[in-house]
Each structure stands twice: as C-alpha cells, then as structure tokens.
C-alpha cells in the first residue's frame, strides 16, 4: 500500500465548529487530492495540490479550504462545519498527472457533524 | 465536462459464475478510463486502466475490462467470481489533459457462496 496516513480516522463534532483533517504521505509525490464520498454520488473532488503552496479547487470546494506547506502534508479545513459536510473524506496522491500515474488513496476519515 | 454512469446499484452473482460490472462514460475527446475497488473501511484500490491500444485491458486479481468506443462503455469483467470479490467498484474517467478524475456512484458486488 502507498504510504498515506489520514488523521483522524473518525471524528464527531458540532455544527459551526472548525475541523481540520490531515493527510500525510511518505512517497514524496507531487500531487495530492481531497475527495468526499457520499452514497449515490461516488467520489467528488474538493481540492487538489500540484506542489507546495500550489492548490486549486475541485467540483465541490465551497465551505472547504486547504493548505500545503510541505510536500508530505495536505490539510483540509472546514471553517464552520455544517451537517451537509457529514461524509467520508479521502486523500489521494499521485507522482505526476496523466493516466500512467494512477491515484492512490488513503483509508479515509469518517466525519459526522451533529 | 466528463461523467460516468454505473447503472446498477448492486450486482449479485454466484461464486464461480462470470461477473460483469457496467460503466458508460461521457467525455470530450479521448478518454482515459479506470476501475477501482473499495473494501469496507478502506480507501480505493486501483484495478486497471485504459489509455490507448487494445480494447481489452487486463488488471489485478484476474479482472479485465473492455473498452467500446462506439458504445462509450468500459465494462469490468471477471470470468469466475470469488466470494472475496465482494466489494464496491468504481469506474472513473479522465479527459485527456485535464488531470481530473470523474467517478461513477459505484456498484456493490455481492458474490454468493
């Protein structure tokens, strides 16, 4: 398995609180991604990073921000969590872009917002 | 924009029988196509991909997929299903050059002993 660690693995919090999820990789890959997985929707891209301090929005970026201050860490922040952000969040990494470098996924963070 | 349709929510198959999981896609230009598998409480694992060339692609664990450009399909197949193949399967498409994957909603495969 690719060296990807997501923390925490589970979190329960209340509406309106800030939440930060961490993705840590040991592969020195340039590209990192955050997805959310919801029943009936598959995986949807939230944000991605193509290098240190280089990030861009995905298709469901509203209410989320990201930061990448070093190659190995990619943080996802919910500034003020809402119940609609209850989901399973996955981090993925890839060495480069293009189909010859498939994305590899972490084991996910299950986030419940009450 | 690219998109993927996986029309069946769940696929039930008896152990030893052929398994097929259906996927159709929509994309501008040439597609890159992928299949991933997800086991409970785990992330997605890459199974196989189609970039160009032979329409039949072979991947991990005995799986293969057939690309059909005229039908815009990329169905996943396995000749003889195992109970351990029970999992959630995702098809994904990437439009050439845009570096983003669009996933289908997933198909739950249940292999019955």
**Cβ within 8 Å, pair B99-A97:** yes
Tens-place pLDDT, residues A42-70: 899 999 999 999 999 998 999 999 999 99
**Full 3-state SS string of chain A:** CCCEEEECCEEEECCCCCEEEEEEECCCCCEEEEEEEECCCEEEEEEEEEECCEEEECCCCCCEEEEEEECCEEEEEECCCCHHHCEEEEEEEECCCCCCCCCEECCCEEEEEC
Kindly state the average pLDDT of the residues B20-38: 93
**Cβ within 8 Å, pair A104-B106:** no
**Residue B97 confidence (pLDDT):** 65
**Residue A25 confidence (pLDDT):** 97
- Residue B47 three-state SS: strand
pLDDT at A96 over 80: no
Is residue B53 very low, low, confident or very high in pLDDT (cuts 50, 70, 90)? confident
Among the partner residues B41, B43, B105, nearest to A105 by beta-carbon distance: B43
């Amino acid at each position: 398995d690719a060296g990807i660690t997501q923390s925490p693995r589970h979190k329960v919090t209340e509406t309106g609180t800030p939440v930060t999820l961490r993705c840590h990789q040991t592969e020195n890959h340039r590209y990192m991604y955050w997805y959310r997985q919801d029943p009936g929707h598959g995986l949807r891209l939230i944000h991605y990073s193509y290098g240190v301090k280089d990030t861009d929005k995905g298709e469901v970026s509203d209410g989320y921000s990201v930061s990448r201050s070093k190659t190995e860490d990619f943080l996802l922040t919910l500034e003020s969590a809402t119940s609609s952000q209850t989901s399973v969040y996955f981090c993925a990494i890839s060495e480069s872009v293009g189909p010859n470098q498939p994305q590899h996924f972490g084991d996910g963070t299950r986030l419940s917002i009450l | 924009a690219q998109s993927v349709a996986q029309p069946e929510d769940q696929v039930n198959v008896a152990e030893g029988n052929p398994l097929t999981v259906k996927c159709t896609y929509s994309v501008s230009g040439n597609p890159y196509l992928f299949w991933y598998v997800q086991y409970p409480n785990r992330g997605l694992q890459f199974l196989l991909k189609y970039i160009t060339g032979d329409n039949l692609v072979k991947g991990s664990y005995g799986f293969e997929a057939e690309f059909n450009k005229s039908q815009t399909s990329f169905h996943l197949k396995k000749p003889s299903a195992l109970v351990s193949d029970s999992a959630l399967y995702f098809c994904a498409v990437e439009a050439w050059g845009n570096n983003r994957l669009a996933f289908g909603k997933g198909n739950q495969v249940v292999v019955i002993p």
